[in-house]
């Protein structure tokens, strides 16, 4: 216990100093840590998105990983995004939990996947030792691992806003059932949520990137089993719409899904097919907005240039299930 605290503070202290130094130069967005990510020489960026995966290879997790390796190689991806529920059933027990290796390092072994992973936490991760999953010690065990609660990745043409969505969900607090959540670090909850929303909103307003992508674990629009996350519909969605966000990407429902908005360019993308899927419970949804619902395992790719954004969803055999793209003019002032 004492040992763990020492490790943590020795890592956190330089990070804290860096953060404080940063905050004296930048104004409103200093609260969300920023990570720059370079684009390719041709100005493009390519990455895969995976969610709801860590089950020691079971439920087709390994098959999905193999296909990610093949597609990742073909696209020459720059990084991987994890939409959370990284370790089932209850996150990690500590920084020495063998599940980190068994469900991550030993599964995503393809050379093309040995890139930076940017991960958020899901509700199942909150049922374990959250500080352990966020610990930089895991990045020393496997250099591709990086997980934070909320943060920004700035890749020049596109800015990514990763949002910690689990603390928004009322029922985890009011009806936790048999689950125990690790809420250390996010209480008092109302302050945590209002600061987070304020930080995301101001970071979006300050963004000059051509494309804006928000990533969280929980759904906003979905026809899947869990349904829409009403707290995010009321609190986060208005911020996304107001700030011209292009994509909201989530997991949580164990499926692959693409829903468009009737009244804005915002696209809702679920990539939660990393392992256990085939739930068989799908609600009716407006066919004009539902572009894809696939109940099985798989993952998503995204390719971005200054002017083009293209997504594709793949199943467990690497077959393309659905493709979609959009473009923006080379020079636009909005
Ligand atoms: C693995 O994937 C195949 C092909 O989609 C599917 O038929 C099978 O049910 C999946 N297995 C599990 C455990 O989900």
| Protein residue whose Cα sits closest to atom 3 of ligand 1 | 316
Note whether 219 and 228 are within 8 A (CB). yes
What are the average pLDDT values for consecutive 10-residue runs of the chain, which has 334 residues?
A: 44 48 42 96 97 98 98 98 98 98 98 98 98 98 98 98 98 96 97 98 97 98 98 98 98 98 96 98 96 98 98 98 94 56
Residue of the CA atom closest to atom 10 of ligand 1: 60
pLDDT of 330 reads 72
pLDDT, position 31: 82
Tell me which residue has its CA closest to atom 12 in ligand 1: 59
Query: How many whole angstroms separate alpha carbon 186 and alpha carbon 59?
Result: 32
Identify whether the C-beta of residue 267 lies closer than 8 Å to the C-beta of residue 260. yes
User: Which of 124, 218, 226, 258 is flagged as catalytic?
Assistant: 226
Are the C-beta atoms of residues 34 and 152 closer than 8 Å to each other? yes
DSSP string computed for 133-156: HH-HHHHHHSTT--B-SSEEEEET
The binding site for Fe cation comprises 52, 85, 88, 123, 217, 252, 254
Q: What is the pLDDT of residue 333?
A: 54
pLDDT at 184: 96
Q: Is the CB of 99 under 6 A from ligand 1?
A: no
Annotated binding residues: 52, 85, 88, 123, 217, 252, 254
Cβ of 294 below 6 Å from ligand 1: no
| Number of CB atoms found within 10 A of residue 208's CB | 6
Burial class (CB in 10 A: 0-12, 13-18, 19+), 46: buried
Task: Say what the pLDDT of residue 57 is.
Answer: 98
Q: How far is the CA of 55 from the centre of ligand 1 (A)?
A: 14
Supply the pLDDT for residue 325: 98
Which class is 31-327 in CATH?
alpha beta
> Which of 33, 43, 18, 37 shows the shortest CA–CA distance to 154?
37
Question: Catalytic residue at 226?
Answer: yes
Instruction: Kindly state if the Cβ of 318 falls inside 6 Å of ligand 1.
Output: no
């Amino acid at each position: 216990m004492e040992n763990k605290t020492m490790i943590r503070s020795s890592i956190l202290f330089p990070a804290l100093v860096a953060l404080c130094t940063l905050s004296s130069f930048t104004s409103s967005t200093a609260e969300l840590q920023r990570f720059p990510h370079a684009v390719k020489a041709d100005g493009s960026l390519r990455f895969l998105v995976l969610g709801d995966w860590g089950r020691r290879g079971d439920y087709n997790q390994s098959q999905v990983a193999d296909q990610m390796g093949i597609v990742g190689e073909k696209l020459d991806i720059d990084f991987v995004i994890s939409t959370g529920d990284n370790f089932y059933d209850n996150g990690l027990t500590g920084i020495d939990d063998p599940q980190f290796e068994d469900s991550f390092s030993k599964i995503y072994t393809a050379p093309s996947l040995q890139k930076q992973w940017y991960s958020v936490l899901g509700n199942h991760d909150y049922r374990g030792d959250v500080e352990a999953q966020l610990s930089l010690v895991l990045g020393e065990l496997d250099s591709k691992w990086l997980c934070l609660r909320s943060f920004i990745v700035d890749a020049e043409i596109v800015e990514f806003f990763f949002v910690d969505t689990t603390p928004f969900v009322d029922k985890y607090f009011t009806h936790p059932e048999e689950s125990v959540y690790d809420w250390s670090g996010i209480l008092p909850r109302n302050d945590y949520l209002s600061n987070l929303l304020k930080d995301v909103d101001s970071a979006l307003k300050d963004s000059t990137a051509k494309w804006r992508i928000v990533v969280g674990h929980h759904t906003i629009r979905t026809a899947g089993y869990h349904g829409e996350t009403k707290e995010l519909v009321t609190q986060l969605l208005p911020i996304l719409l107001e700030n011209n966000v292009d994509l909201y990407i989530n997991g949580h429902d164990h499926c692959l899904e693409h829903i468009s908005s009737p009244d804005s360019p915002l696209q809702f993308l679920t990539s939660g097919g990393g392992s256990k899927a085939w739930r068989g419970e799908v609600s009716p949804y407006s066919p004009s907005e539902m572009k894809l619902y696939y109940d099985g395992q798989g993952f998503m790719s995204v390719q971005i240039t200054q002017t083009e954004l293209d997504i594709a969803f793949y199943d467990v055999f690497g077959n393309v299930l659905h493709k979609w793209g959009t473009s923006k003019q080379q020079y636009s002032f909005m």
